[in-house]
Amino acid sequence: MITSFPALAGATTSSSAAPWYMQVARGLVPGCSVVNVYGYTAAAPSASFGAIWEGGTTAYTYPTSAGTPTYASTSSETLTMLVSGLDSTYASVTDTITFSAGTTGTAATSQSFYRINSMRLLTGVNAGTITAKIAGTTYGQINSGLGQTQMSVYTVPLGYTFYLTRAQVYSNNNGSQYTTYRVLTNVYGTGPQVALLNSPFAAAYTSIRVAPRGYAQKTDIQWQVQNSTSGNTVGAQIEGILISNTAV
């Protein structure tokens, strides 16, 4: 049995002596926070580029206006779930959703969303697949037993800049297959739409930024892939720092 853990390099009980990134991770730097975006799909698209998310080959689209989601599960659930996203002004908003015993769906709450950045459980384990839908379209999904969304989609909140520090994408391609990775951005939901790069890889793609890549407020970001053949599994992990535009 492990009773202790080795000290993390650079970690200290003194907040002033800790490395800056460690201070951000500990919530000790005002106006700064760590952002981790995870993506996974069991069947990435081959006909076109698409976000790495639970919808697989179904393209991830954005609402054209803010709406109040309806949340439902395919199984009976007893849990609470935190939904994080943006309202119609791109300001950050959250909502806590409760599934009581025997519930497979719950009525829409009063909180409206224009963008959903993530959903994660606060209590319980989801037996079924949980979805958040606005006007019948899925904008967030937690697959059975996972406890959080795994979609490579993120919109930068009003008053902040997102600084990307790391992007890693993995595929179960064999030697005769490849995956092309790209980053698609769209400012204010109406353009300009820009594909920042197109990079083919076989099994893994890694980008560690020496100077973090900044994404302005109200920017929709999708980390996308296109496989040379259909049906491949792809996962992604994205890391960066969200910094208030008024932070000193």
64: in domain: no
54 & 168 share domain: yes
55 & 163 share domain: yes
9: in domain: no
For residue 165, the model assigns a pLDDT of 97
Q: What are the per-10-residue average pLDDT scores of the chain (248 residues)?
A: 38 66 93 97 93 94 94 93 97 94 76 97 96 96 97 98 97 86 89 88 93 96 92 94 89
Q: Residue 143: name the closest of 122, 127, 161 by CA.
A: 127
For residue 40, the model assigns a pLDDT of 97
200: in domain: yes
162 & 42 share domain: yes
228: domain CATH number?
Answer: 2.60.120
For residue 11, the model assigns a pLDDT of 44
Which of 91, 119, 148 is at the close of a domain?
148
169: in domain: yes
119 & 170 share domain: no
77: in domain: yes
For residue 248, the model assigns a pLDDT of 60
Model confidence, pTM? 0.90
2: in domain: no
For residue 14, the model assigns a pLDDT of 56
Q: Alpha-carbon distance 112 to 65, whole Å?
A: 10
For residue 2, the model assigns a pLDDT of 38
104, two tokens: 């497979």
143 & 76 share domain: yes
Which of 148, 179, 210 is at the close of a domain?
148
DSSP result, 157-201: PTTEEEEEEEEEEEE---TT--EEEEEEEEETTTS-EEEEEEEEE
Contact (Cβ atoms closer than 8 angstroms) between residue 187 and residue 219: yes
Which of 133, 148, 163 is at the close of a domain?
148
166 & 143 share domain: no
14: in domain: no
Domain count, the chain: 2
Residue range(s) defining the domain that contains residue 206 = 20-59+154-244
For the beta carbon of residue 233, count every other beta carbon within 10 angstroms: 15
162 & 239 share domain: yes
For residue 13, the model assigns a pLDDT of 52
CA-atom Rg of the chain in angstroms? 19
> Where do the H-state alpha helices sit in the chain?
20-25
197: in domain: yes
Contact (Cβ atoms closer than 8 angstroms) between residue 117 and residue 153: yes
